[in-house]
Each structure stands twice: as structure tokens, then as C-alpha cells.
Amino acid sequence: MAVFVLKDSRIAFHSVDLSAQANQLRLNYAADVLDVTTFGSGGARKRIAGLLVPSADYRGYWDLAANLDLVINEAIGPVAEDDDHVLIEVAMKATAYTLDQTTMPAAGPATRHLILTHRTVTTVDTLGSAVVVGTDANSVAISETIALVANSTVRTLKDFLTITSITTAGWVISGTADQLKVGVSGNFARPLSVAPTDDVGDRAFLTEVLKATLRRGGSVGEAASLEGTFEPAARRLVKGYLFAVGEYGTADNNWWLESVNMQATAYTQTNTALPTDEAARIVSITHTTVDVTDTLGNMVIIGTDANGAALTETVALSAGATVLSVAEFKTISSLRTATWVQGGGTPDTIIVGYPLTTKPINMGAVTASQFLYGALHVFPTVDGTNPTLDVVVQSDTAQAFPSATTQMTFATKTAVGSQFAAPVAGAITDTWWRLSITVGGTSTPQFPILVVLGVAA
């Protein structure tokens, strides 16, 4: 990537896209300077470098409608953990527990993770898993099953607004029943992702933030300003790539071209642009043999990318299979099969659409001393009835993904929110990476998202 002009940078913190408010961005790397002067230092100060202190600064304009104040205060404000708010410690059992509270504490975030703590009484029981049922930030029903760990505390991946029920599945008593209590989380880190451009495949950075400052105001006659600093919780800014940005709805395998007989000239397309607000997508091409398989040749796709720049790609077709483009298209002005020759009495058929698989990126391997990191942000507004979003990170040895392997799975999202996924340890020898996205629900479900992946020690 050459020298470039900052014009479409993305700053995502938790469920807020700061890009529409910020106009300045700084990624800072510094190290503590430690004084180690002694009586034998020759009359001069002696210093050594200490720990790395990374941070990210932003500046822009204060937009009251953006709700940034609320998000930062709820996500990072002084919120205390309450380890038995939902269920005061009781003997474990196979039926549903009688909950002490079904809503979050009045002070603090409206939604929180649940924390579940086990304690052995005599001999450790067969613990099984806790099944938590409740609602999300939009009051939509959600559930999560989380494996219990002996004499430890575990935390749900999902944020709950209310809790309907908690049961322990697979629990078997051993001696006197063990004890279980369920509470709500306090302060915990939220993901921060920074992308100098909004082009998928370009460099980006991700980290977890536990400390942030937010300053807003100004002088009379000036546009109200907004500025602040994000400080990573425990790890440095991880350098990675932008894998997804924009609106993601359901896939459509014949959006561009419904099933038609193959031909040597350009096809009359069903659509020439993606649905309104949809992010650019890779193209799927599915072939079906009718009698004798034709000589298929290649599909030549001409269109534009997410920024309106001209884009052309030639994709080799495969008999009885679906193949994918490498590039992501926002519009397609021409589809044509080059070097196609009819093989039987009737031409084969073809359909062209778009999946929810993202552009393959050569991010490189993960060594034995490194980890795969991932951050997912879901912004307002999530549309649809009972919408669901599942994002899976896949890797493979080649750009065409002949045998994809799942390496990381984000928790299902049903509303705005975020997740910094548990880092995945290397070694992973695959070098090509992509996202497989599934959107469910009815009434045109759609999720505005941003996803960044990176590899670091």
C-alpha cells in the first residue's frame, strides 16, 4: 500500500462508528522511560526503555444524536461487578433455578454479560453446561449455552437485557450437590478497530480498550468539538486487515442472473446493482449440466467496486459446481462467457448471484508463538424481524479456498454490540483468510458491521 490521503478512515469502538464524527486520527506507540540512575552513574541520569504504551487519539465534532457519550459511559464507566445479582449461591440441580433478579442493576449498562461461578462442596459433580435464556438489547429472545468449569468463573459471550431462565444441562450429583451462583459483569474491555481506509483488504488495527477519555465542548461561535483517547487494556495494537465493512443482508444466489441457457454473447442481467445499502460482494457462479457438459470456458465480469472504480475479473467455470470471484463488486454492467462451446443438444444453464463470503485475503500463517485476533462491531440500525448474524473466520492454503477450515467463530448477534474474540493460538499454516457470514430472520434482515482480523504474538 503506497502513500495515501486520509479521507475515508474508519474508527469503530464497541457499537459506535466514529467515522462520521471524527476528522483526525493518531495511532501512538511509545515506551516508558525508566530512571535507573545510581551513585555510580558518573554524575548523569541513566535511563532504560520500559513497557510499550500504545494508544489511539481522535478528534472531530460533537454530535448529540450519535449517542457516543452513552456508549462510552456504559462500556467503560465505573461499573461494579455483582457476582450473585441474578442467583444467590444455591445447590445445583437438574431443573430450572428460581432467580433472585431477572433484570440488570439500575446503575450501569442496560445489558451485561453474565458470570457463573461454581464451588465444590465434597466431590466435584459432573457439571455439564448452563443454559441461559433471556432477551437482548432489542428485547428479542436469545439464549446461550456455556460450559461450567470446576471452582471457576465463566462468562457469557452475549449481553443480556433480561434473564428468563437458567438451567444446568448434563449435571449429575456426586455426594453433596455443588454450589452455583450467577451475577453480572462489571468493567470489561471493548474492541477498538481502526482502518486508515474503508477498502476491504487494506491494513487495519484492532485491540481491546478498558480506559478511554472523551472531551467535548468548545468556544462561542465554534462548532462543538469532540476528542479523546483510547488506551488498550492488556495488549498492543494488533496490525491486521479490514475484512468486512458495510451492510450485510441475506445471500442471493441468482441476484445478477437467474437460471438461463449458456451463450457466447453477453447475458441480459436480472440486476445490475446490489440491493440498496448492501456492501460490495464477491460473485457466485453456479453451473448445471443439461445433457452433455458444455465446454464451459470463463465468465468475464465487468462492473465497479465499493468506491465506484471500474473492475473486471475473469473466473474459470467448473462443471456442476459453484465458483466464486476474488474481487467484490457493487455493480455489474456485463456478464459474458468466453470460449464457451455447446456440448449436447441443449445448452447447459448458469446462475449468477452473491454469497455472504468475503474477499479472500493473504494475511499469512500464524506461527507457534503467535495468535489470531478478531474484532466484530455491529452498528445501528439492525433491521428485520428476529434478525441473526453469524460470522465465522475461515482459512485455507489457496486463494480459491479448495478446503476451508474454520479457525474462529464469533457469538451470534441479534442486535447492536461488539466482540473481541478469544485469541486462537498458532500454529496455523494456512495463509489465505476470509469470513463466512450468515444472516437470518425475516422482513429483510440487515446488519451494519465492521470486522478486522490480525496476527500477532
DSSP string, 286-297: EEE-SSS--B--
Q: How many CA atoms lie within 13 A of 196 on its CB side?
A: 15
Whether the bond between 427 and the residue before it is cis, its omega within 30 degrees of 0, is yes
Whether the pLDDT of residue 66 is over 90: the answer is: no
Q: So what's the pLDDT on residue 78?
A: 58
Count structural domains, the chain: 3
Query: Is 37 inside any structural domain?
Result: no
User: Which whole number is the average pLDDT over 90-107?
Assistant: 92
Q: Do 86 and 180 fall within a single domain?
A: yes
Q: So what's the pLDDT on residue 71?
A: 64
Q: Do 117 and 154 fall within a single domain?
A: yes
What is the CATH number for 324? Answer: 2.60.120
Torsion sign across C-alpha atoms 237, 239, 240, 245: positive
Q: CA nearest 303: which of 280, 279, 323, 322?
A: 280
User: Which whole number is the average pLDDT over 31-52?
Assistant: 85
Q: Do 432 and 391 fall within a single domain?
A: yes
In tens, the pLDDT along 283-322 reads 999 999 999 999 999 999 999 998 899 999 999 999 999 9
Instruction: Report DSSP state, residue 428.
Output: B
Q: Which of 170-179, 228-237, 335-344, 393-402 has the lowest mean pLDDT?
A: 228-237
Q: 176 CB contacts (<8 Å, ≥6 apart)?
A: 91, 121, 122
Whether the pLDDT of residue 361 is over 90: the answer is: yes
3-state secondary structure of 19: helix
Query: Is 103 inside any structural domain?
Result: yes
- Residue finishing a domain among 163, 184, 205: 184
Query: Is 161 inside any structural domain?
Result: yes
Query: Is 376 inside any structural domain?
Result: yes
Query: Is 8 inside any structural domain?
Result: no
Query: Is 227 inside any structural domain?
Result: no
Q: CA nearest 361: which of 327, 387, 335?
A: 327
Comparing 68 with 389, the larger pLDDT belongs to 389
Whether the pLDDT of residue 152 is over 90: the answer is: yes
Q: Do 307 and 372 fall within a single domain?
A: no
Whether the pLDDT of residue 19 is over 90: the answer is: no
Query: Is 144 inside any structural domain?
Result: yes
Cα 281 to Cα 437: distance, rounded to the nearest angstrom: 12
3-state secondary structure of 132: strand
Q: What percent of the chain has pLDDT over 70?
A: 94
Reported confidence tier of residue 120, pLDDT bands at 50, 70, 90: very high
Whether the bond between 444 and the residue before it is cis, its omega within 30 degrees of 0, is no
- Residue finishing a domain among 156, 184, 212: 184
Cα 86 to Cα 95: distance, rounded to the nearest angstrom: 16
Query: Is 34 inside any structural domain?
Result: no
Whether the pLDDT of residue 100 is over 60: the answer is: yes
The residues with which 301 forms a beta bridge, in sequence order, are 313, 335
Q: So what's the pLDDT on residue 112?
A: 84
Range of the domain at 383: 361-456
In tens, the pLDDT along 216-273 reads 888 899 888 888 888 887 667 899 999 999 999 999 999 999 999 999 999 999 999 9
Q: Do 319 and 377 fall within a single domain?
A: no
Reported confidence tier of residue 324, pLDDT bands at 50, 70, 90: very high
Cα 178 to Cα 172: distance, rounded to the nearest angstrom: 10
Q: Which of 46-50, 203-207, 432-436 has the lowest mean pLDDT?
A: 46-50
Q: So what's the pLDDT on residue 121?
A: 95
Q: Which of 102-106, 275-279, 340-344 has the lowest mean pLDDT?
A: 275-279
Whether the pLDDT of residue 414 is over 80: the answer is: yes
Return phi, psi of residue 68, to 5°: -65, -40
Whether the pLDDT of residue 77 is over 60: the answer is: no
Q: Do 368 and 292 fall within a single domain?
A: no
Q: What is the dihedral of CA 19, 359, 192, 206, to 10 degrees?
A: -130
Inter-CA distances, 300 with 233, 263, 270, 327, 352, Å: 48, 13, 16, 12, 12
Q: Do 102 and 87 fall within a single domain?
A: yes
Query: Model-level pTM?
Result: 0.78
Q: Do 318 and 279 fall within a single domain?
A: yes
Q: Give me the chain's average pLDDT, please.
A: 89
- Residue finishing a domain among 303, 326, 354: 354
Whether the pLDDT of residue 328 is over 90: the answer is: yes
User: Which whole number is the average pLDDT over 363-387?
Assistant: 94
Instruction: Report DSSP state, residue 55.
Output: E
